[in-house]
């Protein structure tokens, strides 16, 4: 192993500060530690290394599964997977944090039984099963997953640690079975493979983890652009150097986020179904714009009030002529309870306005207009808090504390919500001077310890065969 060569390799991935070589040196030490841990677990021999980054979404929340627009970036925080192919179809999983993530193993097949809900191995089983069905892969692997702090993607923080594990597992199994896919097709494949765990999410997390680029955000149009539906319109938008991204982990976690998320997806689908009664061409909330529907932007509230209920349960929805077959299918797909109520109008209002905010935010970023971008971030958070009800008291406190600082141009909840992280835009270099005070106030008001880090845009998924020989 040549440390100077490996450092040069890693420099192509991580957007570290050239003036601070200690960051790359720390990454090199991390990779070296992972190699030692793998050999301790599985013995000597070749080791292949794969990594997939988490992501922070700058703006565009809960729009991806509505065929809308998003503006995320891949993070330097990532998940490593070290692997060695096996002669059989067995997949043996170990984690560098075994107390948190116990050993798991399974056999490749078209129907791999899932573990308990939330079990970490499910995010490996999903792409494994999908690859067997799609390509008939048969070669298993011994694998070590490395995602611990400070370099790993924080878990449950809205930074897509689960999707990063899905992507890196799919990349390893595909590569070890001598397969390949074009990047967009691979990202789309990973998004659908993660449905295995029970969520019915969109494509943003996986596209960002696959297509991320150093120093850039990814403008992604989440509507497929062709047939088959694996091609999407993308644009890498440079991040202006005069601004910096700060990611703050609120420390708040919520156990039933999966249920809340599935309800929101269902509420959006209900809005589409109700609007389709008059406008059959609408397939997703992406299609509902002032221009397409013939009303002025200021008239959106009146338009929605005329055509969508503020709140409805299943009985009320049946009276609105939605078919029993559609409602039964919706309940089964999204694991809804018979007594569930839906705030259809407010959910749709958030998505429709958020789509427009993403378009205007991308324009602001291209123009290096950080103050305009920051205003859209604050508007987005208010909508997530009030219309989508995806925030929580602790996150709202954190956004308010950040927004009250003159160094902060904007802040918002990022990720699915109900806890997790806040992303903020600052003037470059400003974040070190005031965050200790913010953290002290935050802890006094919530009882939670605040953690934060600089959000640097990194490259997407990578893989290196025979890593130790580089």
Q: Would residue 158 be called left, alpha or beta, if left means φ above 0 and alpha means ψ between -120 and 50 degrees? A: left
Residues 62 and 208 grouped into a single domain:
yes
DSSP state of 148: -
Q: How many domains does the chain have?
A: 2
Distance between CA atoms of residues 421 and 155, nearest Å: 11
DSSP 295-323: --GGGHHHHHHHHS-SSEEHHHHHHTT--
Angle, alpha carbons 371-69-459 (nearest 5°): 80
In degrees and rounded to multiples of 5, residue 52 shows phi and psi of -140, 135
- Pairing relationship of beta strands 104-107 and 90-95 according to DSSP bridges: antiparallel
Residues 234 and 293 grouped into a single domain:
no
Residues 274 and 222 grouped into a single domain:
no
Q: Tell me the two tokens of residue 191.
A: 């998004």
Print the domain residue range for 115.
Answer: 3-239+457-469
Residues 148 and 208 grouped into a single domain:
yes
Q: Which of 282, 314, 342 is the last residue of a domain?
A: 342
Helix (H, G, I), strand (E, B) or coil at 403: helix
In degrees and rounded to multiples of 5, residue 45 shows phi and psi of 135, 180
Q: Tell me the two tokens of residue 262.
A: 């599935």
The pLDDT, as a whole number, for residue 186 is 98
The pLDDT, as a whole number, for residue 258 is 76
User: Residue 421: beta bridge partners?
Assistant: 249, 414
- Pairing relationship of beta strands 90-95 and 141-146 according to DSSP bridges: parallel
Kindly report the CATH number assigned to the domain that includes residue 51. 3.30.230.10
Secondary element (H or E) of residue 252: none
Residue 73 within any structural domain of the chain: yes
Are 384 and 61 in contact, with CB atoms under 8 Å apart?
yes
Residue 371 within any structural domain of the chain: no
User: Residue 216: beta bridge partners?
Assistant: 238
Distance between CA atoms of residues 134 and 371, nearest Å: 47
Residues 167 and 304 grouped into a single domain:
no
In degrees and rounded to multiples of 5, residue 245 shows phi and psi of -105, 135
Residues 91 and 196 grouped into a single domain:
yes
- Pairing relationship of beta strands 341-342 and 462-464 according to DSSP bridges: unpaired
Q: Tell me the two tokens of residue 411.
A: 């802040």
Distance between CA atoms of residues 242 and 409, nearest Å: 12
- Pairing relationship of beta strands 341-342 and 90-95 according to DSSP bridges: unpaired
Ranges of residues in the chain whose predicted pLDDT is under 50 = none
Q: Which of 307, 342, 377 is the last residue of a domain?
A: 342
Residues 234 and 275 grouped into a single domain:
no
Residues 322 and 214 grouped into a single domain:
no
Residue 275 within any structural domain of the chain: yes
Residue 367 within any structural domain of the chain: no
Q: What pTM did the predictor assign?
A: 0.93
**Which sequence positions are flagged as catalytic?**
205
Distance between CA atoms of residues 128 and 137, nearest Å: 8
Distance between CA atoms of residues 398 and 385, nearest Å: 13
DSSP state of 239: P
Residues 217 and 336 grouped into a single domain:
no
Residues 43 and 176 grouped into a single domain:
yes
The pLDDT, as a whole number, for residue 10 is 86
Residue 159 within any structural domain of the chain: yes
Residue 195 within any structural domain of the chain: yes
Are 42 and 143 in contact, with CB atoms under 8 Å apart?
no
Neighbours of 455 (CB within 10 A): 27
Q: Which of 342, 365, 382 is the last residue of a domain?
A: 342
DSSP 59-123: E-TT-GGGT-EEEEEEEEEEEEEEEEE-SSSEEEEEESSTTTS--EEEE--SSPPP-STT-TTHH
The pLDDT, as a whole number, for residue 17 is 65
Distance between CA atoms of residues 337 and 360, nearest Å: 38
The pLDDT, as a whole number, for residue 431 is 65
Are 81 and 467 in contact, with CB atoms under 8 Å apart?
no
Distance between CA atoms of residues 80 and 98, nearest Å: 15
The pLDDT, as a whole number, for residue 121 is 98
Residues 215 and 266 grouped into a single domain:
no
* Average pLDDT of every residue of the chain: 94
Residues 183 and 313 grouped into a single domain:
no
Q: Give how far Cα 198 sits from Cα of 26, 46, 426, Å.
A: 36, 35, 36
Residue 218 within any structural domain of the chain: yes
Residue 375 within any structural domain of the chain: no
* Burial class of residue 469 (count of CB atoms within 10 Å of its CB; 0-12, 13-18, 19+): exposed
């Amino acid at each position: 192993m040549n440390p100077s060569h490996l450092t040069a390799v890693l420099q192509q991935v991580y957007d570290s500060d050239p003036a601070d070589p200690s960051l790359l040196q720390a990454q090199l030490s991390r990779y070296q530690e992972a190699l030692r841990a793998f050999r301790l677990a599985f013995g000597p021999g070749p080791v292949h290394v794969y990594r997939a980054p988490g992501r922070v979404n700058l703006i565009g929340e809960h729009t991806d599964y509505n065929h809308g627009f998003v503006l995320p970036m891949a993070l330097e925080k990532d998940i490593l997977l070290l692997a060695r192919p096996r002669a059989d179809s067995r997949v043996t999983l170990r984690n560098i944090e075994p107390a948190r993530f116990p050993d798991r193993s399974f056999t490749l097949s078209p129907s791999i039984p899932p573990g308990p809900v939330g079990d970490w191995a499910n995010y490996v089983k999903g792409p494994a099963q999908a690859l067997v069905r799609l390509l008939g892969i048969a070669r298993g692997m011994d694998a070590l997953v490395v995602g611990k702090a400070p370099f790993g993607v924080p878990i449950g923080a809205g930074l897509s640690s689960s999707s990063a594990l899905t992507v890196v597992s799919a990349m390893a199994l595909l590569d070890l079975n001598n397969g390949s896919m074009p990047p967009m097709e691979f990202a789309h494949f990973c998004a659908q493979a993660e449905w295995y765990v029970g969520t019915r999410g969109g494509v943003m997390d996986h596209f960002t983890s696959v297509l991320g680029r150093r120093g850039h955000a990814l403008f992604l149009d989440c509507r497929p652009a062709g047939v088959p539906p694996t091609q999407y319109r993308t644009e890498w938008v440079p991040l202006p150097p005069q601004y910096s991204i700060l990611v703050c982990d609120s420390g708040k976690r919520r156990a039933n986020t999966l249920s809340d998320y599935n309800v929101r997806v269902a509420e959006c689908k209900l809005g589409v179904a109700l609007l389709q009664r008059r406008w059959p061409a609408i397939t997703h909330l992406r299609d509902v714009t002032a221009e397409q529907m013939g009303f002025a932007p200021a008239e959106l509230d009146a338009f929605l009030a005329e055509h969508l209920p503020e709140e409805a349960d299943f009985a009320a929805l049946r009276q609105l002529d939605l078919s029993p077959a559609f409602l039964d299918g919706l309940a089964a797909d999204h694991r809804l309870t018979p007594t569930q109520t839906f705030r259809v109008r407010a959910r749709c209002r958030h998505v429709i306005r958020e789509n427009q905010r993403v378009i205007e935010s991308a324009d602001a970023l291209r123009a290096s207009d950080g103050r305009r971008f920051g205003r859209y971030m604050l508007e987005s958070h208010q909508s997530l808090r009030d219309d989508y009800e995806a925030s929580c008291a602790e996150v709202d406190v954190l956004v308010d504390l950040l927004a009250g600082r003159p160094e902060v141009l904007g802040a918002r909840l990022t990720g699915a919500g109900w806890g997790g992280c806040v992303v903020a835009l600052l003037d470059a270099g400003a974040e070190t001077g005031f965050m200790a005070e913010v953290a002290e106030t935050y802890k006094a008001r919530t009882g939670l310890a605040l953690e934060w880090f600089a959000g640097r845009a990194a490259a997407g998924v990578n893989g290196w065969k025979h890593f130790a020989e580089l």
